[in-house]
Amino acid sequence: MDLPTLWYLTVGTSLVAAAMTLWERKAHAQRSRPLGIWAAGYVAFAIGCLLAMRREAFPGITGPALTNIVMVLGYLLVLQGVRCLDERVRIGRCAAVLIVLAAAWAIGGEEFPVFFWTYVGSLPIAAICGLTALVLLRSRAVKPLRSRPIAVGVFVCHSLFYLLRATVAPVLVTTYGESLLPVLAKVTMYEAVLFMMAMPMALLALIREEYQAQLLADSRTDFLTGLRNRQGFFEHGARALRDGAAQRPVSLLAFDLDHFKAINDRYGHDAGDAVLRLFAAVSRDIAGADGVIGRLGGEEFAILLPGQDSLAASRIGETVAREFAERAARSDGLHMTATVSIGLAEARSNATALAELLSAADLALYKAKALGRNRIQIAGENGVSEAA
């Protein structure tokens, strides 16, 4: 395959990548900004390739310099799109890099045109791709995604290729003669075609996988309270029990908001929703990062407490009940009496399953309700204590 064909192939893959990215942008509104920036970068690559094919038609070093600057602009746009996954980008930095590059071409390009075109122009590309890989490696947004190592690898390989082109290729050409230059040009374009296929696929894979992960998380989250729903609670809770099997004891608190139907009937469903959100907020505040909290349905909630025995869990339950009642009483939108009944169960062995633990806590909860509500009852004990 001759060199012009490779140039045209790179132009085509760049434009196809831009079109695919813009199409994907319609389906991922939350990531429209990075997708738009990447599409602009791919268009810049296509323009740079077209300029490279006609660079000799420009006077002096204008053609090679303009080609290199437009290409580097494309890489900068890809980098800014990756950075945009975690933060807002500053285009001013891109402008500064391009100005420095233009100044370098103006100072040294006229005297060493072949050296700048063949070798020096590769250095900013190597640096920007290496930085892109580093940003992906550190990105909070894509850290849990399986496709992240692939994207990082694509940019690392491209960076290393251009670094070798800038450092090793001059030594080889000096040793074996300038007959290697056409071979170097073909190898570069072969690699460019591969890169322009792999890079957009890797970046789109990140966006799609992130979207799928968000859908999965939403399916396990209660829309009203932001807590895990029943499915999410059982999945995460079972995982917490399995991962912390050696962290015994472990306790579970089952909650039922007292007379919740009466609250809805008297104050309306908006007030009822506000009470549920308030209880969820209190639970998060008191249980902390280690507690696994879920809304199991209606006005029923549960908190799994790895590493907490029944005594510590009882204190947490009492604190949740007291804080919930206090906030409901002084809340501007509520000003109501709100109480909660609580059942508490502690795992007796490492073999205790989450369903068994919840069942024991539910039995204790039913007993607390039967004894007058607004209480905490520990499974397997006859004693009952006031919850608030």
Spans of all domains in the chain: 3-219, 230-386
SS3 track for 197-246:
HHHHHHHHHHHHHHHHHHHHHHHCECCCCCCECHHHHHHHHHHHHHHCCC
- pLDDT tens, residue by residue, 196-215: 999 999 999 999 999 999 99
Q: Which carries the bigger pLDDT value, residue 18 or residue 111?
A: 18
Q: How far apart are CA 64 and CA 114, in angstroms?
A: 9
Identify the three-state secondary structure at position 342.
Answer: strand
Cβ neighbours for 249, distance < 8 A, ≥ 6 positions apart? 307, 308, 309, 310, 346, 347
Structure tokens at 330: 């002084």
Identify the three-state secondary structure at position 44.
Answer: helix
Q: What is the dihedral of CA 40, 120, 101, 13, to 10 degrees?
A: -10
pLDDT given at position 353: 87
Across 31-41, average pLDDT:
95
CB atoms within 10 A of CB 66: 18
Q: Which carries the bigger pLDDT value, residue 290 or residue 41?
A: 41
Pair 92, 76: CB distance under 8 Å: no
Across 218-234, average pLDDT:
94
pLDDT given at position 237: 92
Pair 101, 72: CB distance under 8 Å: yes
Q: How far apart are CA 65 and CA 102, in angstroms?
A: 7
Q: How far apart are CA 310 and CA 297, in angstroms?
A: 24
Binned at pLDDT 50, 70 and 90, residue 243 comes out as confident
- pLDDT tens, residue by residue, 122-144: 999 999 999 999 999 999 999 99
Binned at pLDDT 50, 70 and 90, residue 245 comes out as low
Cβ neighbours for 13, distance < 8 A, ≥ 6 positions apart? 193, 196, 197
Binned at pLDDT 50, 70 and 90, residue 115 comes out as confident
Q: How far apart are CA 274 and CA 278, in angstroms?
A: 6
Structure tokens at 217: 């998380």
Instruction: Indicate the helix (H) or strand (E) that contains 17.
Output: helix 3-27
Binned at pLDDT 50, 70 and 90, residue 385 comes out as very low
CB atoms within 10 A of CB 218: 11
DSSP state of 268: -
Identify the three-state secondary structure at position 198.
Answer: helix
The fourth-level CATH superfamily of domain 230-386 is Reverse transcriptase/Diguanylate cyclase domain (3.30.70.270)
The single residue listed with the structure tokens 């760049």 is 14
CATH architecture designation of domain 3-219: Up-down Bundle (1.20)
pLDDT given at position 388: 46
Nearest to 284 by CA among 272, 276, 293: 293
Is cis: bond before 306, omega within 30 of 0? Answer: no
Residue 246 has pLDDT above 70, yes or no: no
Q: How far apart are CA 98 and CA 69, in angstroms?
A: 6
Q: How far apart are CA 359 and CA 234, in angstroms?
A: 13
Nearest to 217 by CA among 204, 235, 197: 235
Structure tokens at 216: 């999965």
